């Protein structure tokens, strides 16, 4: 879909010289991080879910696992 919109957003594209991919693991690619941030923003309820997590009366030991579960996203045709 990008090719249809690229001319309109040309000024927003980071120069190739700023991207450094050498040595990055596939799961750590910037494109994947941006896509994940987009998913969280599009959900529209991330701040509320984080607030519920922060205020949950839950043992400290289980808080990290609960946060990881909260941040997981459903698989779709773009993620495998």
Strands (E), 12-65: none
pLDDT of residue 52: 92
**Distance in angstroms (rounded) separating the CA atoms of residues 23 and 35:** 20
SS3 of 70, please? helix
What pTM, to 2 d.p., does this model score? 0.56
What are the average pLDDT values for consecutive 10-residue runs of the chain, which has 80 residues? Answer: 84 83 77 85 90 89 90 73
pLDDT of residue 48: 93
The torsion of the CA quartet 69, 64, 71, 20, rounded to 10 degrees, works out to -130
pLDDT of residue 50: 92
pLDDT of residue 13: 83
**Distance in angstroms (rounded) separating the CA atoms of residues 19 and 7:** 20
pLDDT of residue 18: 82
């Amino acid at each position: 879909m990008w090719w249809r919109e690229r001319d309109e957003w040309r000024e927003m594209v980071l120069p190739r010289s700023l991207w450094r991919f050498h040595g990055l693991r596939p799961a750590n690619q910037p494109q994947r991080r941006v896509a994940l941030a987009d998913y969280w923003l599009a959900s529209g309820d991330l701040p509320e879910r984080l607030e519920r997590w922060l205020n949950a009366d839950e043992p400290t030991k289980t808080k990290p696992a609960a946060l990881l579960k909260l941040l997981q996203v459903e698989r779709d045709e773009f993620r495998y």
